[in-house]
Structure 1
Amino acid sequence: MTTTIAKFAHLQIPLEDVVKATNNFADDKIIGRGGLGRVYKGQLQRSGELITISALRLDRKHVGGVVEFWTEVSMLSDLKHPNIVSIVGFCDDKHEKIIVTMYEAINGSLKEHLNSPNLTWAQRLKICVGVARALSYLHYDEGRGYGVIHLNVNSFTILLDENWEPKLSGFKVSIKQSLNRMDRVILSEPIGTIGYVDPEIEKSKGVTCKSDIYAFGMVLFEILCGRRAYIRDDANRLLAPLVMQHYENETLHDIVHPDIRNQISKGALRRYSKTAYSCLNKDRMQRPSMLTLIDELEKALEKALKFQLRREYFVRTLLCFFFLCQLLPIVLICLL
């Protein structure tokens, strides 16, 4: 029996349409495995237009999956932001529950590129800024009349489009809260992914918007160090204590991703790492707001772009000089 909530009826998509779009959930259409189940890529007809979609098919064995399914549908139906995934609709029919979003993860998730030598420091900062803007929208946008605590911010849920712009996803455990109570504790069990969970949850028995700040701080350090916040079989399984130790000992440069070390000035590294470290403050109230973080990261991006232009200009000048040096003997011979 269909359990469609009336509020979301306009978003409902017939099961046969999703089946057709994904070629009956063919294995070669699988593009990922989310917390709720497998994700399929497909082509769906909507309003006379053929669009590329991602279809998250709920695994029936997932405990609590129905609640998480409706939470994600509820959240995405209200959220409209350039750095948040866009919902197309959902299917709730014949024991199937499927969330359909626009296919925007052309470059996969951030997790897949943390260690990439091709992802420049400026590109990494651009991703940071985009995620910060998405979280600021969740925490403070007055147009909705309520704030959202995401509670699942990590490099898995940050998707990257064809221009490397981030798209925040993974709203299955998000919580709505009054805008004037975002700093108040909401009673909750520890929620999130290992390596990103706010350690204050256990102490306070709940979460606040500052729990998202902690998780975002871990993403900032992942981007800087080029590794995930949690690696099960690694000697330093958790990134948090490692970066905190190096930051406090002023040796953070030793664990910066080697391919971006020469792209960051010492001053820029100090400022960025101070910003990321402040997100991990044990005292939640001392963690910065998303508005403060956006300001810091936008300034860092501006400086990184200028630094990159200077380096490119220097390299071009050097190449021209080298070319002229090679050409000069030939010119002299011709003149003689």
Structure 2
Amino acid sequence: MMYTAPIKDTKSSIVPPEHTCQRFTLAEVQSATRNFDETLVIGHGGFGRVYKCCKIGSVSKVAVKRLHAISNQGAHEFEAEVKVLSKLRHGNLVSLIGYCNEGKEMILVYEFMPNGTLEDHLHKADSALSWLQRLKICIGAARGLDYLHTGTSTQDGVIHRDVKTSNILLDTNFAAKISDFGLARVGPVDQTRTYVTTGVKRTFGYMDPCYFYTGKLTRKSDVYAFGVVLLEVLSGRKAVDSTLDEEQWGLAGWAQDQIKEGKLNQIMDRTLMGQISKKCLKEFASIASQCLRAQPKQRPTMAEVVFKLESLLSQERKRAKYFAGEGRFIYKVKSFLTSKSDFIAHYVWKSKNRSLRNFTFAELVRATNGFLDEHRNYFPASGESIYKGWVDEKTYAPKRCGVGLPMYVTKKEILTCKVLSFVK
């Protein structure tokens, strides 16, 4: 039973001392952004605009977030983000380098994340993340949230309160980092007995129903939102999509119904076909369902989520390594016994008023990046391998890895047996 004495949510915010976070002058920010040059804008929203800068002060490659006067993220949220992020240092949290609070200007300076947001990669047609990449991203984001919740760097833990795919940024190596702490709240780590009473603020589609109806915020509200993120990663669908049939608008409700009915293939992103083992698919969906349980106390902690996801990644890596190793062994045996191998590769694209494209072997090699093992699933019983490749949406010409229309290529290896005679 949840303890009923709420933690007092004082709305005081204190700008941290200079040694924990740099304070930039408006002149420095204007110089770095070329007086807020529109060509440097890499993102925008209700808060304002984000600019990519090569250098500010002595720091290279930063992202500058400028909050405009009518921003939903007001002075309190601005100072809250500075206060929270200046105290936190973790590999899966975006680092706050500095801030500017001069006149009417409220500006935050972060480390630059070259691969943008997880949301971009899940919902834009020109991007494709493999299943192993998605698992690693989920683990990174979960580690960041666990660090916040356990209060590792502060006396109190932190509730993010706005967990979503657009707030999960990706660095050069596609490592995930949690961002945007404007709505964060600090409170004691004992998440099973305490809560914070706040005005309800969160993005629709990720909001914990319990928090919505009671206004009682706990770390398990972040867990609920992360469950929606897991479903988004698995399905490639948005948390809310009004272009779909009404019963499918909300991803969380629709996906939970599919999981209960055992229709996991209905949820899975079609670009992941052949990449996920049945066991992993079932267990991943189960983790998401646990995060979305109606009663907060029945949801797992983020530490438990991290453990379960890491276990899945380990299983999938072993599976990929096994099939790749087995494939290389068969190839060596085949090369020893034969002087020639025939490869049959075909790609069938079903579409109205379109004829089938006859690919040359060279085109298929380019489209699959040389039949790269990373994009391969091998089936020993049939001697077939299925590779993922990419082609231009209109011309079907081969494209580089991850760009264009995904396709699947089946390559069948036909062994030619020879009789070896030995002379005594």
The verdict on a shared fold, with TM-score over 0.5 as the criterion, is yes
Deviation string for 1:212-231 (max 9, x for gaps)?
00000000111111112112
Quote the offset at 1:315 in angstroms. 4.8
Quote the offset at 1:292 in angstroms. 0.8
Higher helix share: 1
Q: Distance in 2 between matches of 1:73 and 1:34?
A: 19
Distance 1:312 1:149, change over 3 A: same
Kept after mapping to 1: 8 A contact 2:191/2:219: no
Structure 2 counterparts to residues 84-95 of structure 1, below 5 A:
84-95=93-104
Deviation string for 1:124-181 (max 9, x for gaps)?
1101110111011000034411100001110000000110100100111000001235
Deviation string for 1:7-54 (max 9, x for gaps)?
3445210111111111111111000014421100112243xx441110
Q: How many residues align?
A: 325
Within the candidate set 163, 170, 181, 1:171 is matched to: 181
Q: Which amino acid letter does the alignment assign opposite residue 41 of structure 1?
A: K
Distance 1:316 1:33, change over 3 A: farther
Asked whether 1:68 is paired with 2:77, we answer yes
Aligned to 1:16: 27
Kept after mapping to 2: 8 A contact 1:83/1:167: yes
Q: Which amino acid letter does the alignment assign opposite residue 175 of structure 2?
A: E
Structure 2 counterparts to residues 301-320 of structure 1, below 5 A:
301-316=313-328
Deviation string for 1:227-284 (max 9, x for gaps)?
1211233322210111111001000222201121311111111111111100000011
Quote the offset at 1:185 in angstroms. 2.4
Within the candidate set 283, 297, 301, 2:295 is matched to: 283
Within the candidate set 205, 209, 221, 2:215 is matched to: 205
Within the candidate set 150, 153, 166, 2:163 is matched to: 153
Q: Distance in 2 between matches of 1:317 and 1:118?
A: 30
Quote the offset at 1:325 in angstroms. 3.4
Kept after mapping to 2: 8 A contact 1:90/1:99: yes
Could you state the TM-score of these two structures normalised by the residue count of structure 2?
A: 0.72
Deviates more, 1:318-327 or 1:16-25: 318-327
SS in 1 for 2:340: helix
Deviates more, 1:226-235 or 1:145-154: 226-235
Q: Which amino acid letter does the alignment assign opposite residue 40 of structure 2?
A: K
Q: Distance in 2 between matches of 1:6 and 1:129?
A: 31
Kept after mapping to 2: 8 A contact 1:155/1:219: yes
Distance 1:204 1:100, change over 3 A: same
Q: Distance in 2 between matches of 1:317 and 1:248?
A: 41
Within the candidate set 51, 63, 66, 1:57 is matched to: 66
Quote the offset at 1:121 in angstroms. 0.9
Q: Distance in 2 between matches of 1:83 and 1:318?
A: 40
Aligned to 1:102: 111
Kept after mapping to 1: 8 A contact 2:56/2:62: no
Q: Which amino acid letter does the alignment assign opposite residue 326 of structure 1?
A: S
Kept after mapping to 1: 8 A contact 2:160/2:222: yes
Q: Which amino acid letter does the alignment assign opposite residue 154 of structure 2?
A: R
Structure 2 counterparts to residues 255-274 of structure 1, below 5 A:
255-274=267-286
Asked whether 1:244 is paired with 2:256, we answer yes
Q: Distance in 2 between matches of 1:308 and 1:183?
A: 43
Q: Distance in 2 between matches of 1:81 and 1:34?
A: 26
Aligned to 1:112: 120
Q: CA RMSD in A?
A: 2.3
Q: Distance in 2 between matches of 1:139 and 1:324?
A: 61
Kept after mapping to 2: 8 A contact 1:153/1:196: yes
Q: Distance in 1 between matches of 2:83 and 2:331?
A: 56
Kept after mapping to 2: 8 A contact 1:147/1:182: no
Q: Which amino acid letter does the alignment assign opposite residue 111 of structure 2?
A: M
Which runs of 5 or more residues in structure 1 are unaligned?
A: none
Distance 1:264 1:63, change over 3 A: closer
Q: Distance in 2 between matches of 1:64 and 1:111?
A: 21
Q: Which amino acid letter does the alignment assign opposite residue 193 of structure 1?
A: T
Which runs of 5 or more residues in structure 2 are unaligned?
A: 1-12, 343-414, 420-424
Kept after mapping to 2: 8 A contact 1:18/1:44: no
Q: Distance in 2 between matches of 1:205 and 1:143?
A: 27
Kept after mapping to 2: 8 A contact 1:75/1:171: yes
SS in 1 for 2:213: helix
Q: Which amino acid letter does the alignment assign opposite residue 62 of structure 1?
A: S
Quote the offset at 1:189 in angstroms. 2.9
Deviation string for 1:292-321 (max 9, x for gaps)?
111100001111111222333355456664
Within the candidate set 36, 51, 54, 1:40 is matched to: 51
SS in 1 for 2:54: strand
Aligned to 2:41: 30
Identity of aligned residues (%): 34
Structure 2 counterparts to residues 111-150 of structure 1, below 5 A:
111-115=119-123, 118-150=128-160
Quote the offset at 1:183 in angstroms. 4.7
Q: Distance in 2 between matches of 1:132 and 1:198?
A: 17
